[in-house]
Amino acid sequence: MDRTRDQVLRTQWVGQPLRRFEDAALVTGKGQFVDDIKLPETLFIEFARSNHARALIVSLNTTDAENMPGVITVLRAPEPGTLGHAAVNRVLPDMRTLPFPVLPVSEINAVGQPIAAVVATRASVAADAAALIEAEIEPVPLWEDEEPVYRHEHKAGDVSAAFAAAEHIVRVTVEHERVAPVALEPRAAMAFWDEGAQMLNVWLSTQTPHRARSDLAAILNLSEKKIRVIAPDVGGAFGGKASLYPEDALVALASLKLKRPVKWRGSRTEDFLAATQGRGATISGELALDRDGKFLGLRARLDYPLGHWLPYSAAVPGKNAARCLPGPYVCGDVDIVLEGRAENTAAVGIYRGAGRPEAAMLMERLADKAAQALGLDPAEIRRRNLIPADAFPYRTATGSVLDSGDYPQLLELAKQKAGYDDALRLRNERRAEGEVCGVGIAVYTEPCGQGWESAEVRLDPDGTLVAATGASAQGQGRETAYAQIVADALRTRPERIKIDHGDTASCPTGIGALASRSTPIGGSALLKATEQFREKARLCAARLLQADPEQLALTESGFETAIPVRRGLTWRDLARIARADAEIAAEFGKGFRTHCVYEAEGEAWSSGCVIAFVTIDAETGVLTVDRIVWVDDAGTVVNPMLAEGQMIGGLAQGLGEAMLERLVYDEDGQLVTASFMDYAIPRATHMPELVLGKIETQSPFNVLGAKGIGEAGCVGVPAAIVNAAVDALKPFGVTHLDMPLTGEKLWSAMQNGMTEEGTKR
Ligand code: SMO
């Protein structure tokens, strides 16, 4: 009976480790991925790709391909070359743009760049024909010392004075390899121009269906109203499916021209060659310290590679890395220079973490070097510098406002769970017996969840409660977690809520499934929309029951009142009446449809502390991560089982980057790691023993109090592992290691000692 209790979020379902509603279909082969979409008369597209990193096209011979039986057409420039441009998010001022070559007219700028597209009745025919396409080219030198595409600085305080006053100065240069955002499902696209409906239907394995629709509209010069983009089941993305690709545009163009469905299923090698890549920056920093180990000032220089075209979020990794500095630490004086440059490679964009991992690596390597310089324990030097819990909201030297957190508690709890002091004793004992082992710590911050998302809640004619979100999904279990939020606001069961996402025809405009924003922002939008929907429905129910709205209570199936006698209306009743009764329909809208755009008051900052334990084989250099202890703070956790899954998955990818992964281009710009034979990803045997913990400091900047968690494993885990490996090799004179920590690299380091100036002693 108590209406005020309905109006605060009752957390009956939020916080429960509910099993995923999505899984029954997925584990019984009933998932619907792009390649599962079957339409009659479908044609298949394959791409002829450049073998050269940079060349001028003299001529392109497509005749043999065109003459092949089964080939319908070959798309080639200049026609597609004159198409429009996909959007680039200019997150840094004065950022240049680069051409977005759907197909190159005269200039090839990377190996793997599509140079023509073959449409045929079968994919195998299209592939055979694409292999017959020959470009006569004139090789030209690779880009070198280009003007930066972006340059940005953060300056605060008096860094020169800080360094002049310093008792100690420590330095590090970190080379981040490029890595691939390997999703289980490679890129895929299907398009069907429906001539009768004058509608372009596009099924895309994407994180950002609405953005894909605007990009396609701009590229094809078509109204957005004539484009419907559907992200069906998406088999992982990790940032690699956040932007529209030239291939996607060509699939759509082919269907527009041929008025038949056209499908592309990208191969793994095509993803390695032409999907966006992550990381790749070279980052140097120096930290000034007083005699107690307090951080006085930070200088840093961040150089980012960008590849040959700019995906939507091209500048985000660099921007994030710079603005995440100086991490979770108090350090008011900074001088940070950030630059990004084009290169004759695949585009570089966001990948799980998107700049946050690089910031954490820089600060955590510097903190370890500082500990060494002062003869302090690595945990102790961090403790002395962490932003205190009572300092929030806290404005950093790079201008970010950290919303909330308790970093000292994270460190303390991680130390407790790790049995830190005993673990150090054990390490020393093992070391004395000739074993090579180490312990490493990383504390990190993780900005996530800023800006807006939208949601729509309605009651369908059959009484189904539908909540549509502008955020989409890529396998995170969004349908379950969102249903928990909506169910709490309606005081019903999550199974009764149908979550609609990923379809521009039925979902309100949104940003998408990226940047760890879907729960804090998308979830908050759903909560607000559901509350508005609930109050609208309550007024209607009160009218129909001739009751005081204040005296209506929500039950699992609808509204109820006991005054003067017990009576109620189910959602099914309401759905029927709201459509049958013209007056009610006019006043409350069909199905009480409620639309809400929610804008967060500020950004939510997750944080965490990772302690890694490693052993290195003295004979072979092979590194084993024995145990990872990790305490994360993601604010309100909607579904702890899904959150834990995100932690484990992110950790696996962070571990892969730390131990194994590396995209290699040779000096001619050839990618020499274009398959899983050459590019190693972690397997189950690489996974260490995990001890996971959490604290929950809610974000004051969104109504759920939630923060992100999906990228955290890539942020803190690599830094902790690298610190542990350097610690393990300390007896060998090693002061620095870059990822990946391969057996060969560690073996050489043991033979020769290693510092960041190279292998030497
Ligand atoms: S790297 Mo994420 O998909 O923003």
Q: Where are the domains of the chain?
A: 4-15+451-599, 404-448+604-761
- Report how far ligand 1's centroid is from the alpha carbon of 234 (Å): 14
CA 224 to chain centre: 26
CATH class assigned to 404-448+604-761: alpha beta
Atom of ligand 1 nearest to the CA of 207: 3
Which of 271, 358, 302, 170 is closest to 739 using CA atoms? 358
Say if residue 9's pLDDT is above 60.
Answer: no
SS3 166: coil
Which of 172, 606, 542, 132 is closest to 372 using CA atoms? 172
Measured from the Cβ of residue 221, the count of other Cβ atoms closer than 10 Å reads 10
pLDDT, tens digit (0-9, with 9 covering 90-100), for 306-333? 999 999 999 999 999 999 999 999 999 9
Contact present, 726 and 746 (Cβ < 8 Å): no
Predicted local confidence at residue 486, as pLDDT: 98
Predicted local confidence at residue 6, as pLDDT: 44
Which of 711, 714, 715 has most ligand 1 atoms within 8 Å of its beta carbon, as the pocket-test mutant? 711
Question: Which residues, other chains included, contact 14 with Cβ-Cβ below 8 Å and sequence gap of 6+?
Answer: 484, 485, 488, 636, 638, 704
Q: Which residues of 412-422 are buried (b: 16+ CB within 10 A; e: fewer)?
A: bbbbebbebee
Say if residue 563's pLDDT is above 90.
Answer: no
Unique residue bearing structure tokens 């190159």:
104
Which of 243, 514, 657 has most ligand 1 atoms within 8 Å of its beta carbon, as the pocket-test mutant? 514
Residue range 423-449: mean pLDDT, rounded: 97
Which of 333, 326, 282 is closest to 305 using CA atoms? 282
pLDDT, tens digit (0-9, with 9 covering 90-100), for 506-517? 999 999 999 899
SS3 276: coil
Contact present, 102 and 83 (Cβ < 8 Å): yes
For residue 302, what are the β-bridge partners?
Answer: 283, 338
**CA-to-CA distance for 463 and 184, rounded, in angstroms?**
37
Which of 91, 542, 585 is closest to 323 using CA atoms? 91
CA 172 to chain centre: 27
Reported as a pLDDT band with limits 50, 70 and 90, residue 440 is: very high
Atom of ligand 1 nearest to the CA of 513: 3
For helices 209-220 and 246-258, angle between their N-to-C axes, nearest 10 degrees: 60
Say if residue 756's pLDDT is above 80.
Answer: no
**CA-to-CA distance for 350 and 330, rounded, in angstroms?**
27
Unique residue bearing structure tokens 């900047």:
701
Residue range 634-654: mean pLDDT, rounded: 97
Q: Which residues of 158-185 are buried (b: 16+ CB within 10 A; e: fewer)?
A: ebeebbeebebbbebbbebbbbbbbbeb
- Report how far ligand 1's centroid is from the alpha carbon of 372 (Å): 34
Atom of ligand 1 nearest to the CA of 350: 1
Say if residue 522's pLDDT is above 80.
Answer: yes
For residue 663, what are the β-bridge partners?
Answer: 178
Say if residue 550's pLDDT is above 50.
Answer: yes
Reported as a pLDDT band with limits 50, 70 and 90, residue 5 is: very low
SS3 591: helix
Return the structure tokens found at 314.
Answer: 């091209």
- Report how far ligand 1's centroid is from the alpha carbon of 739 (Å): 21
Atom of ligand 1 nearest to the CA of 237: 3
**When comparing pLDDT for 164 and 7, which is higher?**
164
Atom of ligand 1 nearest to the CA of 278: 1
**Would residue 369 be called left, alpha or beta, if left means φ above 0 and alpha means ψ between -120 and 50 degrees?**
alpha
- Report how far ligand 1's centroid is from the alpha carbon of 449 (Å): 11
Angle at 330 between CA 326 and CA 331, to 5 degrees: 60
Predicted local confidence at residue 757, as pLDDT: 58
Atom of ligand 1 nearest to the CA of 352: 1
Atom of ligand 1 nearest to the CA of 351: 1
Say if residue 753's pLDDT is above 80.
Answer: no
For ligand 1, atom 3, which residue shows the shortest CA distance? 239
Predicted local confidence at residue 230, as pLDDT: 98
Atom of ligand 1 nearest to the CA of 517: 4
Instruction: Give Cα separations from 675 to 266, 315, 664, 671 (angstroms).
Output: 13, 27, 11, 10
Measured from the Cβ of residue 626, the count of other Cβ atoms closer than 10 Å reads 14
Contact present, 731 and 618 (Cβ < 8 Å): no
Residue range 57-76: mean pLDDT, rounded: 97
- Report how far ligand 1's centroid is from the alpha carbon of 238 (Å): 5
- Report how far ligand 1's centroid is from the alpha carbon of 515 (Å): 5
Atom of ligand 1 nearest to the CA of 242: 3
Predicted local confidence at residue 78, as pLDDT: 72
**CA-to-CA distance for 235 and 186, rounded, in angstroms?**
8
- Report how far ligand 1's centroid is from the alpha carbon of 358 (Å): 14
What single string gives the DSSP state of each residue in 699-728? -TTSTT-B---TTHHHHHHHHHHHHHHHHH
**CA-to-CA distance for 673 and 13, rounded, in angstroms?**
45
pLDDT, tens digit (0-9, with 9 covering 90-100), for 250-289? 999 999 999 999 999 999 999 999 999 999 999 999 999 9
Q: What spatial distance separates the first Cα and last Cα of the chain, rounded to whole Å?
A: 77
Alpha helices in 351-455 (DSSP H): 356-374, 378-385, 407-418, 420-432
Whether omega for the bond prior to residue 78 falls within 30 degrees of 0, making it cis, is yes
- pTM of the model as a whole: 0.96
- Report how far ligand 1's centroid is from the alpha carbon of 160 (Å): 36
pLDDT, tens digit (0-9, with 9 covering 90-100), for 181-197? 999 999 999 999 999 99
Q: How many CA atoms lie within 13 A of 544 on its CB side?
A: 26
- Report how far ligand 1's centroid is from the alpha carbon of 636 (Å): 21
- Report how far ligand 1's centroid is from the alpha carbon of 7 (Å): 33
Say if residue 53's pLDDT is above 90.
Answer: yes
Predicted local confidence at residue 754, as pLDDT: 67
Alpha helices in 292-332 (DSSP H): 316-324
Atom of ligand 1 nearest to the CA of 515: 4
**CA-to-CA distance for 116 and 130, rounded, in angstroms?**
8
Angle at 346 between CA 342 and CA 349, to 5 degrees: 75
- Report how far ligand 1's centroid is from the alpha carbon of 630 (Å): 21
- Report how far ligand 1's centroid is from the alpha carbon of 180 (Å): 13
Predicted local confidence at residue 755, as pLDDT: 65
- Report how far ligand 1's centroid is from the alpha carbon of 622 (Å): 31
Which of 187, 319, 350 has most ligand 1 atoms within 8 Å of its beta carbon, as the pocket-test mutant? 350
Predicted local confidence at residue 80, as pLDDT: 65
Atom of ligand 1 nearest to the CA of 354: 1
Contact present, 207 and 472 (Cβ < 8 Å): yes
- Report how far ligand 1's centroid is from the alpha carbon of 349 (Å): 9
- Report how far ligand 1's centroid is from the alpha carbon of 104 (Å): 28
Over the chain, what is the mean pLDDT?
A: 95
Instruction: Give Cα separations from 50 to 81, 113, 178, 566 (angstroms).
Output: 15, 5, 21, 74
Task: Determine the topology of domain 4-15+451-599 in CATH.
Answer: Aldehyde Oxidoreductase; domain 4 (3.30.365)
Which of 352, 358, 511, 517 has most ligand 1 atoms within 8 Å of its beta carbon, as the pocket-test mutant? 352
Atom of ligand 1 nearest to the CA of 240: 3
Instruction: Give Cα separations from 687 to 179, 185, 439, 576 (angstroms).
Output: 19, 22, 17, 53
pLDDT, tens digit (0-9, with 9 covering 90-100), for 31-52? 999 999 999 999 999 999 999 9
Residue range 673-681: mean pLDDT, rounded: 97
Atom of ligand 1 nearest to the CA of 353: 1
- Report how far ligand 1's centroid is from the alpha carbon of 354 (Å): 6
Which of 359, 374, 561, 331 is closest to 446 using CA atoms? 359
For ligand 1, atom 4, which residue shows the shortest CA distance? 515
Unique residue bearing structure tokens 């950290």:
402
Q: Which residues line ligand 1 (CB under 6 A)?
A: 207, 238-239, 242, 350-352, 354, 514-515
Helix and strand tally (H, E) in the chain? Answer: 20, 32
Q: Do domains 4-15+451-599 and 404-448+604-761 have the same CATH topology?
A: yes
Q: How many CA atoms lie within 13 A of 297 on its CB side?
A: 22
Return the structure tokens found at 571.
Answer: 């959602």
- Report how far ligand 1's centroid is from the alpha carbon of 241 (Å): 9
SS3 616: strand
Reported as a pLDDT band with limits 50, 70 and 90, residue 579 is: confident
Reported as a pLDDT band with limits 50, 70 and 90, residue 10 is: low
- Report how far ligand 1's centroid is from the alpha carbon of 500 (Å): 21
Contact present, 92 and 152 (Cβ < 8 Å): yes
For helices 356-374 and 378-385, angle between their N-to-C axes, nearest 10 degrees: 110
Say if residue 59's pLDDT is above 70.
Answer: yes
- Report how far ligand 1's centroid is from the alpha carbon of 529 (Å): 25
Atom of ligand 1 nearest to the CA of 181: 1
Atom of ligand 1 nearest to the CA of 313: 4
- Report how far ligand 1's centroid is from the alpha carbon of 242 (Å): 7
pLDDT, tens digit (0-9, with 9 covering 90-100), for 705-748? 999 999 999 999 999 999 999 999 999 999 999 999 999 999 99
- Report how far ligand 1's centroid is from the alpha carbon of 450 (Å): 13
Alpha helices in 474-617 (DSSP H): 478-490, 524-545, 571-580, 582-588
Unique residue bearing structure tokens 């969102």:
482
pLDDT, tens digit (0-9, with 9 covering 90-100), for 99-142? 888 999 999 999 999 999 999 999 999 999 999 999 999 999 99
